[in-house]
Structure 1
Amino acid sequence: MPDLLPILTSLAWPLALAIAWLAGEFGQRWTGLPRISFYGLVGFALAYSQAGVLPLPDAGPVALLADIAFGLILFELGYRINLRWLRINPWIGAAGLAEALLTFVAVYLVAIAFGTTQLVALMMAALSMGTSPATVVRIINEQRSSGQVTERVLHLTALNCVLAVFAFNAVIGFWIFHTYDDVADAIWQSLVMLAGSALVGAVFGVAVPALLRAIGHPRQDATVAFALAVVLLVAICDAGALSPYVAALAFGLTARHRRLAFSQAQRNFGALGELLTVLLFVYAASTLNWEQIAVGSALAVSVVLVRLVTKLLGVTAFAHLSGVSWRKGALTGIGLAPLSVFVILLIEHARHAGVHVVEELRAMAAVTMLLEVFGPVIIQRALVWARESATESATEAPEHPHAT
């Protein structure tokens, strides 16, 4: 009789994805909550540290698929960014910088107050600047929302991603050098990595549309071509110590401004994107350990609350200057709450690069688990309160998304 253990091991991920998908469908139907919240709960429950169904997370094919899934989402986010709008209305960018810097300072001070070391506090502050594009794009597509709050959340999420990647890599460089004398070198290396990643993504953004025009059927063949390009881009960045997230964002941004149509049917990259989204959220939650979450729970709750307040205040302060009401400014700030997947993948990349920071970031494990479940709910509610969700009854039409 064949050994059952290898067979069961090989079935672990397919079974986990099937269970997560079913949980998402039935959970959304019964509760009205976002599907991705249920994907995260299933991934966490079946993780090696909990039920032991899934293997330990490593740098294997599942991790690469998670990166590809995140890359597809970031490409779509980049494709929806309108640089002309940001040039016309620079106060939106100013709001993004303000809320990110305010979040960095506030989380750093909170972490220090809880007795964490300075390096760990800096890492937590850098990670907290970000907003998870995976959650934001997925919920916006699921709610079919459009309007001022939706567009501002998308644009500020992209800005937050770039700022968080830069800050986190600068802190990692500082961690490696272990001395204040090399802070400038750490910042310079982070800037070079950021610029190199953006350049590679921009090259793809020029080359792929040109190739599609040469083929002669850009709309018909765009989905497969863009998906394959993202796969190749992520692989190149992994091999070259670049950020696949900044590169994918730059790819989408450049492709948009090459004037190549990205049809409505291609949103979420169809069935491929849906499947990889399930895998992404299950994988992200499966990296979390309940013991780390329990140890860091008090600090985690404080960080979540402080982060929500700083993002709300930072964006609301620029609401009138950027052309919206205080209410819509506040809802935009609330919509930036999701964090989980972005943080988990950044930490996993650092770990695979040989920087073992997971043990020191127990509180961030708790933060990510809290926002894995509640982050999607928070942005869903923000879009409904803004009356921009097509899945809810609205009493007033949303404003034009690019109005100033």
Structure 2
Amino acid sequence: MNMLSQGWGALVAWPAVLWLAWWLGERWHARGLPRVSTYVAVGLVGGALGGVASLRVPHEGGALLAQLALALVLFELGCRIHLGWFRRNPWVPALGVLQSLALFAALYRGLAALGVTEPWRALLAAAAVAASPAALLRVANDARAAGQVTERMLHLAAIQSVLAVLLLKLASAYWFLSAEGDWGQALLSSLYAGLLSVALGVALAVVLSALMRGAYPSSAVPTVGYALALVWLTVVADALRLSPLLAALSFGVLLRERLAWVANAQRDFGTLGLTLGVFLFVYVGARTSWSALADGAVWAVAALIVAARLVVPVALNAALAVPSGTTVRKGVLTGVALLPMSAMTLVLLERSAALGLGPAPQALWHASAALLLLELAGPVLTLWALRAAREADGSGRRGASSGGERSALAAGSSPAPAGPREAIRSADDHTARA
């Protein structure tokens, strides 16, 4: 009876908490605070009050729903990735890879200096490499940002996310081999699983690029088609113990490359995507362990992660700004904009714990304060960086408009005057001039 009453309590509490998060997000957004920071803060308070505690168990429905919400974001991000830009300016992908590996090395060495033991040192360092695509894309969309810093931020975030998944797979495989001698689990947790995830996303993109061509009477129609495809992709990848996040990103990238996206699909997947976005960030806040926040070692790890995620991207983007075709100032702003880390890191560690990776719960415990700080303050600094670059509404960017519900699912149809395709072309023009 007690468990039944707790279940009903969660069913009542979650919609109320989500509505409150949405309402406060809109009110505080008008005062200049990013919506995502408000959502996380409400989830944090809701979790502390115990109203959403039943969704703290990784294997329950909340974790799968969070993966779906993040898969929608990564698909949209994938549809903005311009591989042609990478081919014309190889400094950008090289910078992304170097930045990810340098961040991992700095965190790994720093955690060792803090006395962190090996079973979860590599796991935490790998997970902390991930950017927060959900926060970055939502801040960019809310600010109607377009320009060189915006596009570099999103492209580098995609590279960091891919490298974080691959590094985490390698760390997981190493643990299964060294601790349990389990070759089967090591294989499932290795790069082999990552390659299968990419293959699944690519296969779905090939099928849908053929099935969804043509005109549609409204933007809601293709949006529903893509959303249902991503629901299938998330469930299948989760059941096969693959990475739904890597599969969704691959799905979006290939659709763009095949020119098969639908230009009038709704931005953020319309009402569905916005609702799931509210849930994702409230979930991040609700998953925060207050007992972990009382541990001094957790805050020491948080200080290291925050410092590394600020110093490494800023230093590398500034150092390689001119060779990669931008200014040092814009390189610094790009590094600052990449600070948010939370949703993807949380999902990666929860997923690892659900797959039986022993050190994952301990890694998640020690990452609690960093997750909280970087998802509360990170979007604020991202918005500041975009405004300092004069690429966001309210920053003096010429021609900023308030327009429309048309989507950035397709590269080329953002409510800003320059959609992602035009933004990338603009970025290339800036690169040529620089």
Q: Distance in 2 between matches of 1:8 and 1:363?
A: 29
Residue aligning to 2:427: 401
The residue matched to 1:304 in structure 2 has which SS? helix
| Offset, 1:88 | 0.7
In the TM superposition, what are the counterparts of 1:8-27 in structure 2 within 5 Å? 8-27=9-28
The residue matched to 1:400 in structure 2 has which SS? helix
Residue aligning to 2:410: none
The residue matched to 1:339 in structure 2 has which SS? coil
2:300 to 290, 298, 321: 298
2:311 to 306, 309, 312: 309
Question: In the TM superposition, what whole-angstrom CA distance separates every residue of 1:160-188 from its partner, at most 9, and x where no partner exists?
Answer: 111000101111121222269999x9589
Question: In the TM superposition, what whole-angstrom CA distance separates every residue of 1:278-313 from its partner, at most 9, and x where no partner exists?
Answer: 001111221110121231012211221122101111
| Letter of the structure 1 residue corresponding to residue 14 of structure 2 | W
* C-alpha spacing 1:202/1:391, structure 2 compared with 1 (3 Å): farther
50-59 or 256-265, larger mean C-alpha shift? 256-265
Residue aligning to 2:199: 199
Residue aligning to 2:160: 160
| Offset, 1:19 | 1.2
Q: Does 1:217 align with 2:210?
A: no
* C-alpha spacing 1:8/1:160, structure 2 compared with 1 (3 Å): same
Q: Does 1:120 align with 2:120?
A: yes
| Offset, 1:392 | 2.8
| Letter of the structure 1 residue corresponding to residue 18 of structure 2 | L
Q: Distance in 1 between matches of 2:53 and 2:211?
A: 40
Q: Distance in 1 between matches of 2:64 and 2:217?
A: 27
Aligned residue pair count: 397
| Letter of the structure 2 residue corresponding to residue 366 of structure 1 | A
Residue aligning to 1:271: 271
Residue aligning to 2:50: 52
98-107 or 5-14, larger mean C-alpha shift? 5-14
In the TM superposition, what are the counterparts of 1:3-152 in structure 2 within 5 Å? 7-30=8-31, 32-47=32-47, 50-56=48-54, 57-58=56-57, 59-152=59-152
Q: Is the 8 A contact 1:44 1:282 kept in 2?
A: yes
| Offset, 1:6 | 5.1
| Offset, 1:124 | 2.1
TM-score (norm 1): 0.92
Q: Distance in 1 between matches of 2:394 and 2:64?
A: 33
Q: Distance in 1 between matches of 2:200 and 2:105?
A: 31
Residue aligning to 2:357: 355
Q: Distance in 2 between matches of 1:103 and 1:25?
A: 34
| Offset, 1:396 | 11
Question: In the TM superposition, what whole-angstrom CA distance separates every residue of 1:74-102 from its partner, at most 9, and x where no partner exists?
Answer: 00000000000001100001111111111
| Letter of the structure 1 residue corresponding to residue 19 of structure 2 | A
21-30 or 273-282, larger mean C-alpha shift? 21-30
The residue matched to 1:388 in structure 2 has which SS? coil
* C-alpha spacing 1:261/1:233, structure 2 compared with 1 (3 Å): closer
Question: In the TM superposition, what whole-angstrom CA distance separates every residue of 1:195-251 from its partner, at most 9, and x where no partner exists?
Answer: 1111110111111121112x7639753211111101000001000011000000000
Q: Distance in 1 between matches of 2:79 and 2:398?
A: 30
Q: Is the 8 A contact 1:218 1:260 kept in 2?
A: no
Q: Is the 8 A contact 2:209 2:261 kept in 1?
A: no
| Offset, 1:4 | 6.5
* C-alpha spacing 1:239/1:180, structure 2 compared with 1 (3 Å): closer
TM-score (norm 2): 0.86
The residue matched to 2:396 in structure 1 has which SS? coil
| Offset, 1:23 | 1.7
Residue aligning to 2:190: 190
Residue aligning to 2:412: none
Q: Name the Cα RMSD after superposition.
A: 2.4
| Letter of the structure 2 residue corresponding to residue 330 of structure 1 | V
| Letter of the structure 2 residue corresponding to residue 217 of structure 1 | Y
Listed as ranges, the gaps of 5+ residues in structure 1 are none
Q: Distance in 2 between matches of 1:8 and 1:36?
A: 25
